[in-house]
Amino acid sequence: MFRTRLLSGIVLVALALLLIITGGPVLLVSTAILSLIGMFEFYRALGFEKTPLAFSGYAVAILYFADLQFRFMPSDFMVMTLFLVLVLIIYVLSYPKYDTAKAMGAFFGLFYVAVMLSYIYLTRQLPHGEYVVWLIFLASWGSDTCAYCIGKLFGKHKMTPVLSPNKSVEGGIGGVAGAMLLTLIYLLVFQKTMHLHTTTIVLLTLSSGAGALISMVGDLAASAIKRNYGIKDYGKLIPGHGGVLDRFDSVIITAPVIYYFSSVILARLPGMGH
């Protein structure tokens, strides 16, 4: 099991490297595909993955990602507003086929998976985004790895005994500290390339710490949803890891945090050469 998980993790990192370094439409399309798979997994957990309600979600997700490339909509919120109206139309016209939980789940699934994951692409589009985007993964996957190691060695106090008995407070602290240390090392390596001042490095490192802290919420929230619906994993697409949502549960919530912090820091502070 460990070997399978390790090999899958290596392949996953290699693919991430390839797609993110390439950027542009390639990253946009791959993120859209990832989002559609994740939405399918989420809708399947709720029990309506192959229904008109679900297909309307997939269609609007494609529309949303197309708009990120071509910008034919006045606002991203317009896409979400139109989808909410569409969900309500389907809900009313097909009543009582879908209960309220499924109608709300359709809208939540689009936002939770597609919109949140799109921040990987949006972060890549920032100034020096080819470097900044890796903070998302240092804050999520890096934090997760550090938390696991520290938790195994020093974990004594349960973080959420009912929801996730194996996670400890010590592991959580180690995860945040580890993510910040990895980010600091990463930024120091690319300091000259990115023309970073010390203040910018410190603030980006703190942003990574905030992202790591939030990533734990994403991980635990995904676990809570699975427990509510009585499933162990969202899927089996990634051997040893489960589905897309099992592997990207922390990335989903970390990506927007890193995007917004980085946007403010890079736009308002000196140190970013153009």
Going from the C-alpha of 200 to that of each of 148, 187, 194, 264, 267, the distances in angstroms are: 29, 10, 10, 11, 11
The structure's pTM equals: 0.93
pLDDT tens-digit map of 19-37: 999 999 999 999 999 999 9
Q: Report the amino acid identity of residue 178.
A: G
pLDDT tens-digit map of 37-70: 999 999 999 999 999 999 999 999 999 999 999 9
| Distance between CA atoms of residues 47 and 39, nearest Å | 12
pLDDT band at 6 (very low <50, low <70, confident <90, very high): low
Asked whether 142 and 184 are in contact (CB, 8 A), the reply is no
Closest CA to 218 of 248, 243, 180, 262: 248
Res 238 pLDDT > 60:
yes
The packing angle between helices 198-228 and 143-154, to 10°, is 70
